[in-house]
Every structure is written in structure tokens, then in C-alpha cells.
Amino acid sequence: MSEKEMKSYRFGVGEEPSDEMLSQLMKEVAQEARESNEKAMGEFFESLNREARAIKKEWSNRQTCIVNG
């Protein structure tokens, strides 16, 4: 199935997509879901690392204040 055919197809009442169309749509949706998940995981761990660095810096400052009185 050509890309043009895939882009022009619209689900409608009484109009069933072919097995080939469904397979292609499912592959595309799965790929988009994987990419979205990878991006979200990357952003989550970036945020987690930023928070960890901020907490580490705060505790380091507290320790310095205690040591130096």
C-alpha cells in the first residue's frame, strides 16, 4: 500500500480497512508510541538528575555551614 493511499484513507461507517492497512496503521502507531515513551523517559530522568544535583548541593552547603560554624 502506498503512503498516499494510507494518508487518504478515513475510517467510515460500513467501510472496513484492509488487513494490510490495519497492519501498517498499527506499526506506525507502535513506532510513535515508542518514540513518545523514549522522549518522556529521557525528560523524566533529566528532571530526576537535576533534582538530585540540587539536593546534593543543598546538603553540601548545610555541611559546610555546620563545619565552619
**pLDDT per position as a tens digit, 48-64:** 999 999 999 999 999 99
Would you say residue 43 has pLDDT above 80? Answer: yes
Listed by start position, the domains of the chain span 26-69
Cell of 45: 530522568
What pTM was computed for the model?
0.63
- Is 20 in contact with 1 (CB distance < 8 Å)? yes
The reported pLDDT for the residue numbered 37 is 98
pLDDT band at 32 (very low <50, low <70, confident <90, very high): very high
Q: Give SS3 for 37.
A: helix
Would you say residue 22 has pLDDT above 80? Answer: yes
The reported pLDDT for the residue numbered 50 is 98
Q: Give SS3 for 15.
A: strand
Cell of 43: 525528560
* CA dist., res. 29 & res. 40, Å (int): 16
